[in-house]
Amino acid sequence: MRQRGGAAAVSGGRAESISEKIQRNRGIILIISVPLLLVAFVLFLMPRSPAEPVLVGVGRKTMPGGGGDAGSKTYAVIFDAGSSGSRVHVYCFDKNLDLLPIGKEIELFVQKKPGLSSFAENPQEAANSLIPLLEKAEAIVPLGLREKTPVRVGATAGLRALGTEKSEQILQEVRDLLQDKSSLKSQPDWVTVLDGTQEGAFQWVTINYLLGNLGKTYSSTVGVVDLGGGSVQMAYAISEKDAVKAPQVSSGEDLYVKKLFLKGTEYHLYVHSYLHYGLLAARAEILKAGDGESSCILDGHRGAYKYGGNEYTASASPSGASFSKCRTEAVRALKVDEPACTHMKCTFGGVWNGGGGDGQKNLFVASFFFDRAAEAGFVDPKKAVAKVKPSDFEEAAKRACKLNINDAKATYPLVSDDILPYLCMDLVYQFTLLVDGFAVEPYQEITLVKKVQFGDAFVEAAWPLGSAIEAVSSL
């Protein structure tokens, strides 16, 4: 009697053993198993792709992409403690360091004025000013991930201008605040005054990351000018040949060229931060040159300007504001003809300009440049990006400088009362900075950027994203 299916047989009333089955079907097994073994052997011998390095911190070792199991999320909280205000950014990444949405947005971004430097005489009050931002940031991070989520505070030019003693007192209060009242992961050295070149480098990483340029040749990246309140940074990738030509700097000064390894590519990044030449600091530099009256202040305004713990007379000259006279004051403040320039070519204040090249041709200009352009009415404030020329700032400045304070108030409804007296000065300075300082041609097209499109979302074009990438990569 034979069972159907041939899977088993009865012989002499005894069930066939497994070894007997194998022996009887050895030919079929051999035919099936040999090809499978060959495929497995070939797969074993194939080279495996190493994990692609995503970021190296500025001048640091190669770091792999964010850790975690497939599908895991990693958060980072970054405070930008600028001279004009404090801002918090919360980012969420997948294991490949691609940004993931936080709710309906790609990031949490909240800001608050004034900045930490405004509390120079009360360090504890400075730290407490961050509490509302901290609470909103913590609420975004899932409870189970908070103790693993890095929180960093990067103070910029505003605190740098206060000097070491006062800035360190404020930073220590911030460290204590995070240690005592935050559930996020903090370390003392994560609360610091950012080096100006580090700020510029992070900004360059942010914009090129969002544009999808990292990993490409240096000539495929864009240059960045970031005009903050206390300082202005320029950063762009240069060739290795030009990097070798970088002038030597004195001990303690920032190097002109930083090496970065990003998505498997080495970049030589020219980056320089000009302290005292951010928009708010530059006002003080321009007013210093006057004798109590300025051709950059709108007619009808008399007052004082406070910056960095100092107060400057800020009153219009009897003849009112003048574009041409204000230009002269701005050029003088920039020290464009600084005799200390010992290099082949300088920007201003005796600083090497990096040599130019393909990495600088496509220039993205951020922060206060966008703000004033929107307030002056030559870019749409609702748009995240705008194509303009330096000459647009010149034309806007000429229009603003002709007005008295009352006419300007009616003409520029988007300009707040505290900015209005300085509108002529700000626009003249921005044009002068681009054309005389950075040698941008007046009719060269540049990109004003508030946010950069990333997939279907827009992300703030600010240095904290570059810092967040480094923080998550280091976990």
Nearest-CA neighbor of 93 among 42, 136, 125, 54? 54
User: Are the CB atoms for 146 and 183 separated by under 8 Å?
Assistant: yes
Adjacent-strand bridge partners of 310: 307
Q: Give the rounded distance of the alpha carbon of 172 from its chain centre.
A: 24
**What are the percentages of helix, strand and coil residues in the chain, rounded to 5?**
40, 25, 35
**Residue 441 falls in which region: left (phi positive, over 0), alpha (psi -120 to 50) or beta:** beta
Q: What is the DSSP string of 23-53?
A: HHTHHHHHHHHHHHHHHHHHHHHSPPPPPPP
Can you give the pLDDT at residue 17? 55
292 pLDDT band, cuts 50/70/90, is confident
The neighbour count for residue 253, using CB atoms within 10 Å, is 9
- Asked if the domains 57-194+462-473 and 279-444 are classified in one and the same CATH topology, the answer is yes
The distance in angstroms from the start CA to the end CA of the chain is: 69
How confident is the model over 325-353, as a mean pLDDT?
84
pLDDT per residue over 29-75, tens digit each?
Answer: 545 554 444 434 333 333 333 333 334 433 333 333 333 343 489 99
Can you give the pLDDT at residue 442? 97
User: Are the CB atoms for 157 and 195 separated by under 8 Å?
Assistant: no
DSSP three-state, residue 163: coil
Phi, psi of 207 (to 5 degrees): -70, -40
CATH class as words, domain 279-444? alpha beta
Q: Give the rounded distance of the alpha carbon of 68 from its chain centre.
A: 25
Please report, for the chain, the start and end positions of each structural domain, with discontinuous segments joined by +: 1-38, 57-194+462-473, 279-444
Cis peptide before 442 (omega within 30 of 0): no
Q: What CA–CA distance (Å, rounded) separates 164 from 190?
A: 17
Query: Which residues, in sequence order, are CB contacts of 21 under 8 Å at separation 6+?
Result: 8
Can you give the pLDDT at residue 340? 64
Query: Which residues, in sequence order, are CB contacts of 313 under 8 Å at separation 6+?
Result: 287, 290, 292, 293, 304, 305
pLDDT per residue over 358-383, tens digit each?
Answer: 999 999 999 999 999 999 999 999 99
Q: Where are the alpha helices (DSSP H) in 161-218?
A: 164-181, 196-211
How far from 326 is each of 199, 300, 444, CA to CA, in Å? 30, 16, 23
More confident residue, 52 or 305: 305
More confident residue, 16 or 81: 81
* Kind of pairing between the strands at 151-155 and 191-193: parallel
How confident is the model over 443-471, as a mean pLDDT?
91
Say what the pTM is: 0.76
Query: Which residues, in sequence order, are CB contacts of 383 under 8 Å at separation 6+?
Result: 450
Adjacent-strand bridge partners of 273: 233
Residue 163 has pLDDT above 70, yes or no: yes
Nearest-CA neighbor of 74 among 144, 133, 177, 152? 144
Percent of the chain with pLDDT over 90: 63
Provide long-range contacts, Cβ within 8 A and 24+ apart, for 88-91.
88/130, 88/133, 88/134, 88/136, 88/137, 89/460, 89/462, 89/464, 89/465, 89/468, 90/137, 90/140, 90/141, 91/465, 91/468, 91/472
Q: Which residues form the catalytic set?
A: 199
Strand order in the sheet with 74-81: 108-112, 86-93, 74-81, 151-155, 191-193
Which DSSP helix (H) or strand (E) runs through 87?
strand 86-93
CATH topology of domain 57-194+462-473: Nucleotidyltransferase; domain 5 (3.30.420)
